[in-house]
Structure 1
Amino acid sequence: MLQIGDLAPDFSLKTTTGDTFQLSDYRGKRSIVLYFYPKDDTPGCTAEACSFRDQYEDFQELGAEVVGVSSDSETSHQKFTQKHRLPFPLLADTGGRVRKQYEVPRALLGLLPGRVTFVIDAEGRIQYIFNSMNRATDHVSEAKQVLTKLRATT
């Protein structure tokens, strides 16, 4: 299992714009809030994404980029991004490869992909892992608290 202090597994996936997001491109530059969510346009996932959107400037000021990952297609992500005016990339992990790399468990008796957020510092190390299906918007506040503490110690 991945733990606090581990080097975050590198990966590359397509974004909503068709570009490729490569985690290692951010190493030495910015922290990453990498959040895995079950499905575009469901109530909990929409609340989570919109909460990240509404506080996106705070994350930017804390030196972090927000990145969402689900198994939905690039087309689904494009629609979701446009509908809710999301300023951060959503990544299409259609085969679930990155979800497996990050050991994100399935939820609700294995029927749904899980909801897990990783805070990865600028050196590429995992600083925090938050796993909760039901507390979707808490992923945002938890990540902000961790980034605030990281900033205070550097």
Structure 2
Amino acid sequence: MKLKVGDVIPKFTAKDASGNLFESVSIIGKKAAIIYFYPKDDTSQCTVQACGFRDNYDDFLKLGVEVIGISSDDVDSHQEFAKKYNLPFILLSDPDKALRNLFGVPSKIFGLLPGRVTYFVDKQGMIQMVFDSLLGMKHVSKMIEKLIK
């Protein structure tokens, strides 16, 4: 099943970069969120994307929007990635691709590369926008466009 505009985000749990259990209900349904799936920590497009969300994070927070990044990297990798680039937002580890499958994020390039998909979720937990592109910074600019309108 692929989540689309109008769908409500299902409940989920995952480990964050500190190794703590993150429960989606702590944010989803309480405040708006940008949830983005990306292929791999510390690769060129993923770093550009993460740094773009970092550079705009304060503006997102002022608008009442939390940012959550998700990849299959483990907790240690996320911790290093967040520290290296001073990432202030939540990074979730999805090693078994359970979240990727829950959201229906497709793989790219003959199934070899995990997809890059960003969801904008309103305060009620309903998906208002889905953006799918391999270009990391495009995701940041699309979310800024969505929130400024």
Give me the TM-score of the superposition, normalised by structure 2: 0.95
Measure how far apart 1:28 and its partner are: 4.1
Q: How does 1:95-106 map to 2 (within 5 A)?
A: 95-106=96-107
Give the unaligned 5+ runs of structure 2: none
Kindly provide the CA deviation profile for residues 4-52 of structure 1, in whole angstroms up to 9, marking residues without a partner as x. Answer: 1111121111101122222222244211100000000100000000010
**Residues 11 and 28 (structure 1), Cα distance of their counterparts in 2 relative to 1, 3 Å cut:** closer
1:107 aligns with 2:111: no
Q: What is the match of residue 78 of structure 1?
A: 79
Distance across 2 between alignment mates of 1:29 and 1:148: 20
CA contact (8 A) 1:27 1:122 kept: yes
1:142 partner amino acid: K
Computed over aligned residues only, the root mean square deviation of the Cα atoms, in angstroms, reads 1.1
Q: What is the match of residue 128 of structure 1?
A: 129
Measure how far apart 1:89 and its partner are: 1.2
SS of the residue aligned with 2:139? helix
Q: What is the match of residue 138 of structure 2?
A: 138
Q: What is the match of residue 22 of structure 1?
A: 23
Measure how far apart 1:148 and its partner are: 3.0
Q: What is the match of residue 147 of structure 2?
A: 147
CA contact (8 A) 2:72 2:97 kept: yes
Q: What is the match of residue 62 of structure 1?
A: 63
Point out the more displaced range, 65-74 or 20-29: 20-29
Distance across 1 between alignment mates of 2:35 and 2:28: 14
Give me the TM-score of the superposition, normalised by structure 1: 0.92
1:61 partner amino acid: K
Q: What is the match of residue 43 of structure 2?
A: 42
Distance across 1 between alignment mates of 2:148 and 2:24: 21
How many correspondences in the alignment?
148
Identity of aligned residues (%): 47
Give the unaligned 5+ runs of structure 1: 150-154
